[in-house]
Structure 1
Amino acid sequence: MELGTSHISVVDRDGNALAMTTTIEDGFGARIMTRSGFLLNNELTDFNFAPMEECKPVANRVEAGKRPRSSMAPTLVFDADNKLYAVVGAPGGSQIITYVTKTLVGILDWKLDPQVAVDLPNFGSRNGPTEIEAGTEAETWKSALEAMRHQVRSIEMNSGIQAIVVGPNSLTGGADSRREGVAIGN
Structure 2
Amino acid sequence: MAFADRDQYIADSDFVDVPTLAMLDKQYLTKRSALINEKRDMGKATAGIIGRKEYAANVSIAQPNTSHLSIVDKEGNAISMTTSIEMGFGSTVMVGGFLLNNQLTDFSLAPKVNGKLVANRVEANKRPRSSMTPVIVMKDDELFAVLGSPGGSRIINYVGYALLGLLEFEMDLDDVVNGPRFSNRNGYTTLEKDSILAQYKTQLEQMGHTIRLSELTSGIHAIIKTKDGWKGAADPRREGTAKGL
Task: Sort the TM-score into its range (normalised by shorter chain).
Answer: over 0.9
Query: How many residues get paired?
Result: 184
Conserved? CA contact 1:115–1:163, under 8 Å: no
SS at match of 1:21: strand
Q: CA RMSD in A?
A: 1.6
> Which residue of structure 1 aligns with residue 233 of structure 2?
174
Query: Equivalents in 1 of 2:117, 2:221: separation in Å?
Result: 38
Query: Equivalents in 1 of 2:122, 2:63: separation in Å?
Result: 22
Shift of residue 138 of structure 1? 1.2
> Which residue of structure 2 aligns with residue 69 of structure 1?
129
Aligned-partner residue type, residue 67 of structure 2: S
Query: Equivalents in 1 of 2:152, 2:199: separation in Å?
Result: 25
Counterpart of 1:12 (choices 67, 73, 76) is 73
1:43 is aligned to 2:114: no
> Which residue of structure 2 aligns with residue 110 of structure 1?
169
> Which residue of structure 2 aligns with residue 24 of structure 1?
85
Q: What does 1:85-164 correspond to in 2, within 5 Å?
A: 85-164=144-223
Query: Equivalents in 2 of 1:136, 1:58: separation in Å?
Result: 37
Structure 2, gaps ≥5 residues long: 1-61
Query: Equivalents in 2 of 1:82, 1:133: separation in Å?
Result: 36
SS at match of 2:240: coil
Mean Cα deviation higher: 45-54 or 100-109:
45-54
Structure 1, gaps ≥5 residues long: none
Runs of 4 or more above 6 Å deviation: none
Conserved? CA contact 2:180–2:197, under 8 Å: yes
Shift of residue 116 of structure 1? 1.3
Aligned-partner residue type, residue 163 of structure 1: A
Aligned-partner residue type, residue 185 of structure 2: R
Q: Identity percentage over the alignment?
A: 51
Shift of residue 37 of structure 1? 1.4
> Which residue of structure 1 aligns with residue 112 of structure 2?
52
SS at match of 2:86: coil
SS at match of 2:157: helix
Conserved? CA contact 1:2–1:91, under 8 Å: no
Shift of residue 168 of structure 1? 4.5
SS at match of 1:85: strand
Shift of residue 105 of structure 1? 1.6
